[in-house]
Amino acid sequence: MDSIGDLLGKYSAAAPDEVTAVKRYIADEFGAESSVGLQGEVLVVTVGSASLANTLHLRQTAIQAAANTKKRLLFRIG
């Protein structure tokens, strides 16, 4: 029987393609860091400023197209 440390050492959680695509879009277009999480059918995007969150909200359809997703985007400041 494997120990919990051995099992966790073998586990590699790969982020879904949508998450990496949204992060890449924000980094390429704005040069900013972001945190993107997946909660059911919602992509939660956390950025560092309100102005960036507002701009991303206005570009929501472009972000969805870049990520090839129909999931709803939720923008947070954090």
pLDDT recorded at residue 15 = 77
pLDDT recorded at residue 1 = 66
Q: Is residue 10 part of a domain?
A: no
Confidence of residue 71 (pLDDT cuts 50, 70, 90): very high
Give the domain CATH number at 35: 3.30.70
Mean residue pLDDT across the chain: 91
Q: Is residue 27 part of a domain?
A: yes
Q: Is residue 8 part of a domain?
A: no
pLDDT recorded at residue 12 = 66
37: Cβ–Cβ under 8 A, 6 or more apart, which residues?
Answer: 19, 43, 44, 46
| 18 CA to centre of own chain | 7
* pLDDT tens string 51-69: 999 999 999 999 999 999 9
- Count structural domains, the chain: 1
Q: pTM for the whole thing?
A: 0.81
Q: Are 57 and 75 in contact (CB under 8 A)?
A: yes
Q: Is residue 38 part of a domain?
A: yes
Find the domain containing 65 and state its range. 15-77
Q: Is residue 6 part of a domain?
A: no
Q: Is residue 64 part of a domain?
A: yes
Q: Is residue 73 part of a domain?
A: yes
